[in-house]
A and B are shown apart, each in its own frame.
Chain A
C-alpha cells in the first residue's frame, strides 16, 4: 500500500475516525518485517493489538446442575424414609403380636393349673363316693 495512504490513515486513526476495515489495513501494514523509519514507533502498537487478540480463556467452567442433583437426593431421602417407617411399623406390630401371644399363653397356663387343682378335688369326691357305696352295701 502507498505510504502516503498509510500516513493519511494514521492521521485519521489518531482522531478516532477510521473504520474497523481501515484499522485492519493499518494492522496488516505494520505486521510486515520492515517499515519506514519514521513509522517504526507505531509498529509495536499495532502488533500488540494483533497479538492481544490471540489470548485465550482456557480455564474450565464447572457448570453445575446442582438443582437437579438436589432433586434426586430429596427423592431418594423420601423413599428411604418411607421404607424405614414401613419396616418400623411392621417390626412394632410383630412385637405386639408376640407380647399378646405370651400373655395369652400365660393366661391359659393359669387356667390349666386351676383345672388341674379341680381334678384333684374331683378325686377326693370319687373316694367319698366309694366310701358311701361301702357303707350302703354293709347295711
Chain B
C-alpha cells in the first residue's frame, strides 16, 4: 500500500482515534502522541492491512488498548489537565462563559466515570457507533454495553441535576 492510499484509508477516522485517546488520557499532548503512535503502527503494518475487513474498528481497538496500557504504566502518572477552547462567535460573552463553563463541567463529570463507561459513552454519544460496533471494539456483550451506557448516562444526568439545582459552577 502506498503512502497516499494509506492516508486515504486513515483520514476518515484519525480524529476518532484522537478523541478516544483524549477521552482516556485527558491531556492533549498525551492524546496526540498516542494517536501518532497508533497511526505509525498501522503504517508499519500496511502490507497486511488488506486482511482486516474493518480497519477503523481495528485502529479503534488498538487505540483503546494502547491508552489503557498507557494509563497503567507509571509514565502517565502525572497527566495534565488541558481544556480545549470551544468558541462560538455568535453568543454573547456571558453566554459564552456559561457555555464554556458547562463544557468544562461536563468534561469533569466524564473524567469521573469508570474507564469502560467513559469509552462506551464516547463511542456512542460522541462518535455515534452502533451497538454491534461497540461490542466488537470493546469486546463486550450487547447487554453489558447497554448496561454500561445506561449507567454512564444516568451518572452524568445525576451530576448535572445536582449542579443545576445548586446553581453552582
Contact = CB atoms under 8 A, between A and B. Distances in A.
Interface of A: 13-17, 20, 23-24, 40-45, 47-49, 51-57, 59, 61-65
Interface residues of B, number: 43
Contacts of A49: 125-126
B66 interface: no
A41 B103 contact: no
Contact of B102 (A13, A24, A44, A53): A44
A17 B59 CA distance: 27
Interface in B6-35: 6-7, 14-15, 17-19, 22, 32, 35
Contacts of A23: 124-125, 128
Contact of A53 (B3, B126, B145, B146): B126
Interface of B: 3, 6-7, 14-15, 17-19, 22, 32, 35-36, 39-40, 43, 84, 86, 99, 102-103, 105-107, 122, 124-128, 130, 145-147, 149-150, 153-154, 156-157, 160-161, 163-164
Nearest to A43: B102
Given A20-B128, A47-B99, A49-B125, A55 B22 contact: yes
Contacts, number: 84
B145 to A, nearest CB: 8
9 contacts: A14-B157, A43-B102, A44-B160, A45-B160, A49-B126, A56-B18, A57-B17, A57-B35, A63-B7
Contacts of B35: 57, 59
A63 B36 contact: no
A95 to B, nearest CB: 51
A3 to B, nearest CB: 18
Nearest to B150: A16
Nearest to A37: B164
Query: 9 smallest A-B Cβ distances: which pairs?
Result: A57-B18, A44-B102, A16-B150, A48-B106, A16-B149, A41-B164, A16-B146, A49-B125, A41-B160
A75 to B, nearest CB: 21
A117 to B, nearest CB: 85
A43 B106 CA distance: 11
B126 A52 contact: yes
Contacts of B122: 52
A45 B15 contact: no
B32 A59 contact: yes
B157 A51 contact: no
A63 B10 CA distance: 12
A54 B15 CA distance: 9
A13 B153 contact: yes
